[in-house]
């Protein structure tokens, strides 16, 4: 009996050991060592091709969408999105007219299970471009790409990704940086078009390695079985060739397959050397290129390589700053890209330059723009700004960018991204608490609004729909009631603070409504000098509703973040008084005038419109709307200097704390006055609004943006 038990335990131990060795250590026995590898996909001319079913190849115009695991309440790197959600997303992406998914890193088990199930019975599957990212911490903490930690983590990620798509890997949580985990036992390799290796490179990282190893023959060149570098290659390019060769070799040996591959780059490291004078823009003269034309395939590569770039319409400043002679050197003429408004489509020209540079297909692995309220960068000539676009304008910008990509001769493009991401940091100066971004929606942050799918607060509806209909408001929302029937009510959710002003016989075009707001008790003023207004409390903001075209949020001078940024670089200036009576326009350090960059962008200016998505005249950027005897207003939390509303954290005094720091509050105060009525110096009364954060208990629902349907109409019209 003991012998029998011992045998059983030995068998179990061997099975477990075999499972660990096969699925976790990557051990295998090549049962067909002489079997010739085959190409699953390949490049021909300027195209990425798939089998045509008759032994030949047909080009596939890549119409892709980047998918991550980002959802409200969790970071993309938490990889908590479940299989059912992915299946629903895949169906909507398929209906969009897309044919390809791109993931920037190894995803969770549920992603690959969902892809496997979705494609099982489909004649036209959703293909996958698998990205392998470089851990951001490693990128930020070391400049040396030849350090063992850097290059071996990158190489290991590539080899593990090969096993993942073939369904022969098991990963524990956090076993591999920037990767998901689970039991990857579904073979999705039939639908994997290829690989994109790497992330957005820090130019400093590239420059450091190239300078350090420029004269080292073991670092500035590489000769492998599948890849080698050309003369003049840089050390970083040699490192990429080494990693790529290792990956191709592994998939060829173990799985007898090859598929197309590319190395990821951005406009900061692409190979276009555009010469501009330092006087034109000193910042743009700094660039460290990675030129994958110097990474060559040997005859052992059956598939082929492509060039992969993240390129956005608003990231082509270098070309815009170059003179006509430099354009001619690059093989383009400015006149060929003229726009109807007398400007120039620099994006289309930049794409053409990239395509002209390469002998391999060019894939725009990221493109798109944002429907956030505040802009982060402007595209002066075509209006495809990074932010400050309505959902409709976002869709139109995506379609026009797509047309530029196709016209340039690129192999296709991948839209960034499928869904909005609450975890993306603000593009401005650290106003938001970086440790709690996912618990609220920052409508001011351009990186958060790049999706076609948005996440709105509330399980089925937000706390308020700003459309001029006061029926959703109740007595419990009342903050202040005045003699004569005027009143102001307040409510909030994960995205906005909402206000509803009720005023009998409201003449919206002629009445001026004045709403002081007191948030932090560290500063503020009881008096506004410009409008000769007195407040019952020291106000930090003054909301002025003055018709459709001239309504804005003003900020008290001491609490003016834009001013504090200017003073920080000019210490000889006098600091504003804590109780300064000056109220300023609320500005961001982004200028709409390239001739006057210090002017800033007035983000406090309010936009009139209907913010109800169900309305035919829906305006996704609308801040306020008037109805019968009422005005509804919504203010993004960051406009009121909240850094983390989930815990009701707000900015502290900028001068006492030498920058942006936070403290918590549990109430704020709002007031109301009709600007036409004289009160002979009487202070504006202000009512208390209790504030309670929701911490990590986020509620939300998903909604397809207007941009989704615009892109859908475009892509579904294509063959």
User: Which string of b and e fits 117-131 if b means at least 16 CB within 10 Å?
Assistant: ebbeeeeebbbbbbb
Give the Cβ contact number of residue 21 at 10 Å.
12
Query: Is 48 a member of any domain?
Result: no
The per-residue pLDDT for range 307-361, each reduced to its tens digit, is: 999 999 999 988 988 999 999 999 999 999 999 888 899 999 999 999 999 999 9
Q: State mean pLDDT over 475-500.
A: 96
Query: Is 238 a member of any domain?
Result: yes
Query: Is 287 a member of any domain?
Result: yes
Query: Is 572 a member of any domain?
Result: yes
Average pLDDT, the chain: 92
Is there a single domain that holds both residue 335 and residue 280?
A: yes
- Domain span including residue 544: 461-697
Is there a single domain that holds both residue 682 and residue 711?
A: no
The domain that holds 152 is classified in CATH as: 3.20.20.80
Query: Is 225 a member of any domain?
Result: yes
Query: Is 189 a member of any domain?
Result: yes
Is there a single domain that holds both residue 306 and residue 425?
A: yes
Q: Show the beta-strand stretches assigned E in 104-247.
A: 127-132, 169-171, 182-184, 192-197, 227-229
What SS3 class is residue 526? strand
Q: How close are the terminal C-alpha atoms of the chain, in Å? A: 70
CA 572 to chain CA centroid, nearest Å: 38
**Dihedral Cα 138, 141, 144, 146, nearest 10 deg:** -30
Is there a single domain that holds both residue 157 and residue 89?
A: yes
The per-residue pLDDT for range 28-79, each reduced to its tens digit, is: 667 677 789 999 999 999 999 999 989 999 999 999 999 999 999 999 999 9
Q: How many domains does the chain divide into?
A: 2
In order, the DSSP letters of 629-665 are TEEEEEEEGGGGTEEEGGGTEEE--TTTTTS--EEE-
In order, the DSSP letters of 533-588 are EEEEEEESEEEEE-TTTS-EEEEEGGG-HHHHHHHHT-TTSPPPPTT---EEE-EE
Percentage with pLDDT > 90 across the chain: 78
Give 531 or 148, the one with higher predicted confidence.
531
In order, the DSSP letters of 397-429 are HHHHHHHHHHHTT-SEEEES-SB--TTSPPSSS
Is there a single domain that holds both residue 213 and residue 98?
A: yes
CA 115 to chain CA centroid, nearest Å: 23
Residue 596's pLDDT band (cuts 50, 70, 90): low
The per-residue pLDDT for range 189-240, each reduced to its tens digit, is: 999 999 999 999 988 889 999 999 999 988 999 999 999 999 999 999 999 9
pLDDT of residue 597: 62
Q: Which of 123-137, 270-284, 623-637 has the lowest mean pLDDT?
A: 270-284
pLDDT of residue 572: 53
Contact 444, 429 (CB under 8 A): no
- Res 280 pLDDT > 70: no
Is there a single domain that holds both residue 201 and residue 345?
A: yes
Give 682 or 253, the one with higher predicted confidence.
253
- Res 678 pLDDT > 70: no
Residue 22's pLDDT band (cuts 50, 70, 90): low
Integer Cα distance of 191 and 194 in angstroms:
9
Query: Is 9 a member of any domain?
Result: no
Q: State mean pLDDT over 630-639.
A: 97
pLDDT of residue 149: 86
Is there a single domain that holds both residue 489 and residue 447?
A: no
Is there a single domain that holds both residue 96 and residue 132?
A: yes
Give the Cβ contact number of residue 93 at 10 Å.
25
Two tokens at 304? 């082929």
Is there a single domain that holds both residue 253 and residue 387?
A: yes
The per-residue pLDDT for range 167-186, each reduced to its tens digit, is: 999 999 988 888 999 999 99
Is there a single domain that holds both residue 473 and residue 440?
A: no
Which backbone phi and psi does 710 adopt, to 5 degrees? -70, -45
Is there a single domain that holds both residue 474 and residue 414?
A: no
Give the Cβ contact number of residue 348 at 10 Å.
23
Is there a single domain that holds both residue 607 and residue 486?
A: yes
Query: Is 505 a member of any domain?
Result: yes
């Amino acid at each position: 009996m003991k012998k029998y038990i011992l045998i059983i335990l030995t068998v179990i131990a061997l099975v477990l050991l075999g499972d660990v060795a096969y699925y976790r250590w990557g051990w295998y026995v090549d049962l067909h060592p002489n079997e010739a590898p085959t190409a699953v996909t390949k490049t021909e001319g300027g195209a990425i091709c798939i089998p045509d079913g008759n032994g030949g190849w047909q080009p596939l115009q890549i119409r892709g969408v980047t998918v991550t695991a980002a959802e409200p309440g969790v970071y993309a790197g938490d990889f908590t999105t479940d299989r059912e959600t992915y299946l629903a997303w895949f169906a909507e992406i398929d209906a969009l007219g897309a044919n390809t998914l791109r993931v920037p890193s190894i995803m969770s088990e549920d992603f690959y299970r969902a892809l496997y199930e979705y494609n099982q019975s489909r004649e036209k599957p959703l293909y996958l471009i698998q990205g392998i990212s470089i851990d951001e911490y490693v990128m930020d903490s070391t400049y040396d790409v030849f350090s063992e930690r850097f290059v071996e983590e990158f190489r290991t990620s590539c080899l593990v990704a090969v096993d993942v798509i073939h369904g022969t890997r098991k990963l524990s949580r956090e076993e591999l940086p920037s990767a998901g985990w689970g039991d990857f036992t579904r073979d999705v390799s039939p639908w994997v078009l290829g690989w994109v290796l790497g992330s957005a490179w820090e130019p400093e990282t590239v420059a450091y390695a190239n300078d350090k190893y420029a004269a080292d023959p073991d670092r500035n060149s590489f000769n492998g079985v599948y890849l080698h570098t050309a003369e003049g290659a840089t050390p970083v390019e040699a490192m990429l060739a080494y990693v790529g060769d290792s990956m191709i070799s592994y998939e060829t040996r173990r799985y007898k397959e090859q598929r197309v591959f590319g190395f990821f780059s951005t406009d900061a490291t692409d190979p276009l050397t555009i010469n501009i004078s330092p006087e034109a823009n000193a910042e743009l003269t700094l660039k460290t290129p990675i030129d994958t034309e110097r990474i060559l395939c040997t005859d052992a590569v059956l598939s082929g390589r492509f060039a992969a770039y993240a390129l956005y319409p608003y990231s082509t400043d270098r070309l815009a700053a170059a003179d006509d002679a430099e354009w001619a050197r690059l093989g383009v003429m400015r006149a060929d890209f003229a726009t109807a408004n007398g400007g120039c489509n620099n994006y289309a020209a930049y794409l053409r330059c990239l395509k002209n540079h390469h002998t391999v297909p060019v894939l725009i692995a990221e493109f798109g723009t944002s429907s956030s309220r505040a802009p982060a960068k402007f595209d002066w000539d075509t209006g495809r700004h990074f932010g400050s676009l309505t959902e409709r304008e976002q869709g139109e910008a995506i379609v026009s960018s797509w047309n530029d990509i196709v016209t340039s001769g690129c192999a296709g493009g991948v839209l960034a991204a499928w869904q909005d991401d609450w975890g993306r940091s603000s593009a401005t100066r650290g106003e938001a608490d970086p440790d709690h971004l996912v618990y609220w929606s920052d409508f001011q942050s351009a990186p958060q609004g790049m999706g076609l799918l948005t996440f709105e607060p509330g399980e089925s509806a937000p706390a308020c729909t700003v459309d001029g209909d006061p029926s959703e408001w109740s007595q419990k929302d009342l903050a202040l009631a005045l003699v004569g029937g005027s009143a102001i009510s307040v409510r909030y959710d994960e995205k906005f603070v909402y206000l509803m002003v009720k005023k009998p016989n409201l003449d919206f075009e002629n009445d001026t409504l004045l709403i002081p707001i007191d948030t932090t008790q560290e500063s503020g003023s009881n008096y506004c000098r410009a409008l000769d207004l007195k407040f019952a409390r020291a106000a930090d903001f003054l909301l002025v509703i003055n018709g459709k075209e001239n309504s804005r949020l003003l900020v008290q001078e001491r609490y003016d973040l834009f001013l504090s940024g200017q003073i920080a670089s000019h210490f000889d200036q006098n600091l504003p008084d804590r109780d300064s009576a000056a109220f300023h326009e609320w500005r961001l350090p982004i200028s709409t005038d390239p001739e006057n960059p210090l002017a800033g962008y007035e983000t406090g200016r309010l936009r009139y419109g209907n913010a109800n998505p169900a309305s035919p005249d829906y305006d996704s950027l609308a801040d306020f709307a008037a109805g019968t005897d009422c005005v509804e207003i919504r203010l993004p939390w960051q406009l009121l200097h909240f850094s983390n509303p989930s815990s009701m954290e707000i900015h502290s005094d900028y001068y006492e704390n030498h920058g942006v720091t936070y403290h918590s509050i549990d109430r704020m105060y709002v007031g109301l006055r009709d600007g036409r009525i004289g009160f002979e110096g009487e202070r504006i009364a202000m009512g208390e609004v209790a504030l309670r954060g929701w911490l990590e208990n986020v509620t939300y629902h998903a909604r397809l943006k207007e941009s989704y349907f615009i892109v859908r109409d475009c892509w579904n019209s294509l063959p």
